[in-house]
Amino acid sequence: MTTGRTLAETELPAELTAFAAVDAAYPAELTRCYEALRRRLPVLIECEKELAPFLYRSIRDRLKADGSRCLYLDGRAAADLPPPPPGVGLVGAMIHQIREVVRGAVGERIVVLPHLDILTASGGGGGLTAEAREVIPLMYENPEVLWLGFKDPAFPLPAPIENIFPHMEGIIGVPRERLRYLITQREARKLGKNFDPYTLYKHISGVNAVRLRRLLASLTGEDYPADPSGAFKQLRTATLTNDVELPSVDLEKDIGGYKEVKERLTAEILAILGAKDKLSDPVQIAKIESLIPRGMIFWGPPGTGKTLFAKAMATALGAAVTIVSGPELKSKWVGESEENLRGVFMKARQCAPSVIIFDELDSFASARGTYTGSGVEHSMVNQLLTEMDGFRKEELVFVVGTTNFVESLDPALLRPGRFEFALHIPYPSREDRRAILRVHDRRLDLEMTEAAFDHACKRSGEPVPGPNGGTHYSGDHLQALCRQLARTRLREGGSGPTTPDHVDRAIEQYLDLPKLLAAEELVVATHEAGHAVVSLVCKHASPIDRISIRGDIGGALGYVKHADPAHRYVVTYNQLRDSMCTLFGGREAEALLLDDISIGSASDLDYATQIARSMVEQYGDGGIEIGVGRWAHHKDQPTSEHARARIDQAIQAILERERTRAKQLLEANKPLLVALRDLLLDKKVLDRSSFAHLFPTKPAEEPRG
């Protein structure tokens, strides 16, 4: 007997033919087609080729009961029609038959065109073939002819042909509520003790009834298996087409870090679907299915794993994945871009459950009014929305659009009911980078030490090296770093642990870094040591992670890398003042130890001036009234010469105060400055642990001026 979602074996048919299965799977669709024909309305059925003969037979049998007759035109000899001319081929024979029917006497017979798509499909470039140009006027010639046409979803029909048919029926897959009538008792035994149509439906929702009967009849294995996953895998594998994949990406094991992203994806999608699988009440199941978003936007910078997260979601759902590049869908031919989209959705529905991933969704779904191409993008967006609106609620087909520019997407896509679920996947944080590195360390057998992990996390907090650098490290960059480590180990026959030095080599060995002479190196070491000592002395400066005189990817001869501030969202006046003081440290160290100043401090002075100007004009420092400062900050507002002079004086006073403080701090800590400079000249690169012994206690800061 039925218990919840499961069915007793005795409630299933003992035997089932393909014709009986079609009748059982599509009773509503067949009835609608039959009734339309009885009202003398031409009918067009869109279905897969293998299904068309079975649908025709079911409709014909119903019509026979009412005394109606059909004339089936497939190019083969027909008793009531003259034979076609010799040598015309199958398509020519069908056209000959249509001509004879239209211009002859067929009485009340219904004329069946099983290959209407082949006869009238559009040619390359969206134009009509010679056959289509001949068939279209023929079908309009005699309005008394009642047509029943069949077309495959993969073949578009010209609009004049579609307009002939006031009743159109599309058939994809099987409705879930009819699944109980499509499996025999013997086949159900291969799927476990109690047959659950909901579980089976997840694996075959896009398969038509005829193909489903073939797949079920081919099931192998023992009866009543304790674990029926093998049988389900047989079915799932058989439903996949050549251009889709069944991914194997574990959300936790294969994707490092991103705790918040994983939690949201799990809570909003995976957990809801998991809860649905445990329900037995069809009403509750339908309610949950109506809540699941079918359209999703995964947005964030390039290389952060948007497609990887979509594959992980598909893996958790047992779904096939179709990856579509937005630019590849576009065509210069009218209507072909939309047909490309229809084809993508058709294949995805046929192998559901499935996830369609549109990479670079913004390439054709930008906000209307911003298109710079042929205008086909607007039609593609409309076609995309039409396809999404056509999903059955129980149909597990999800659409994921990935984009680097979510702000450029058409707002119509983002409203509820369409792409209503937006998931931001940012650059990885320090903790995320460590977790990502661990994933690649395990896969590539790098044997990274904890020190190497720490060092790689620090280095990946810097801008990405190379000619196209300047961005933050993404997951793809971290993977490339680990692959470089693996190649170096393989090339050099290395074994043993990967150390911080290996990480540095992997990042820098092919970079064109500045090469300094000894005298130049002394200046750079003095400059960077000055920055570092002032920063270490100032109470409100961020901790130092790294000091280098080997140059960096941006062309700087050296640098001091600070750790992320403890409070990233609240900035105080004291922090700004200490930042300016640190910026003056390099210049004043050169003056103190070298009795000369290089032009390398120009960028430091520019940045310090920007901070001071902001403090005066925006934040009300320097004795300038806030209203006057903020008024002057807006360049389009007129400001008096007197007010401008007061603002410039306040800025100069702040800068001079911090320069003087930096000078005093360096004079008070000159031995430390010299020791740190000499250590830099020796080691070239210093991590925090490398110079900590120079500062056993934090030097006392001089009183502020």
Helix (H, G, I), strand (E, B) or coil at 523: helix
| CA distance linking residue 68 with residue 601, whole number of Å | 95
Measured torsion, CA atoms of residues 226, 227, 232, 233, in degrees rounded to the nearest 10: -140
Strand-pair category, 43-46 with 146-151: parallel
- The DSSP secondary structure of 267-318, one letter per residue, reads IIIIHHHHHHHH---HHHHHHHHHHS-SEEEEE-STTSSHHHHHHHHHHHHT
Inter-CA distances, 399 with 255, 305, 315, 537, Å? 21, 17, 15, 55
Return left, alpha or beta for 183; rule: phi > 0 is left, psi -120 to 50 is alpha, else beta: beta
Q: Which of the residues 46, 377, 528, 588 is marked catalytic?
A: 528
**Is 528 an active-site residue?**
yes
Separation CA 250–CA 262 (nearest Å)? 11
Q: In DSSP terms, which residues pair with 409 in a beta bridge?
A: 366
- Residues with Cβ within 8 Å of 202's Cβ and at least 6 positions away in sequence, in order, are 318, 353, 396
Query: 210: exposed, middle or buried (C-beta count within 10 Å: 0-12, 13-18, 19+)?
Result: buried
CA distance 43 to 253: 52
- 682, burial (CB in 10 Å: exposed 0-12, middle 13-18, buried 19+): exposed
Bridge partners of 400? Answer: 296, 357
Separate counts of helices (H) and strands (E) for the chain:
30, 13
Long-range contacts of 252-256 (CB under 8 A, 24+ apart): 253/439, 254/308, 254/312, 254/439, 255/305, 255/308, 255/309, 255/312, 255/439, 256/432, 256/434, 256/435, 256/436, 256/437, 256/438, 256/439, 256/475
Distance CA 98, CA 86 (A): 16
CB 393 within 8 A of CB 378: no
CB contact burial 415-425 (16+ within 10 A = b; e otherwise): eeebbebebeb
CA neighbor of 502 nearest in space, from 549, 468, 453: 453
Task: Please tell me the distance from the alpha carbon of residue 537 to that of residue 248, in angstroms, as a whole number.
Answer: 52
Dist CA 589 CA 533 (whole Å): 9
Are the C-beta atoms of residues 113 and 73 closer than 8 Å to each other? Answer: yes
> What is the spatial distance between Cα 300 and Cα 427, in angstroms, rounded to a whole number?
8
Return the active site residues: 528
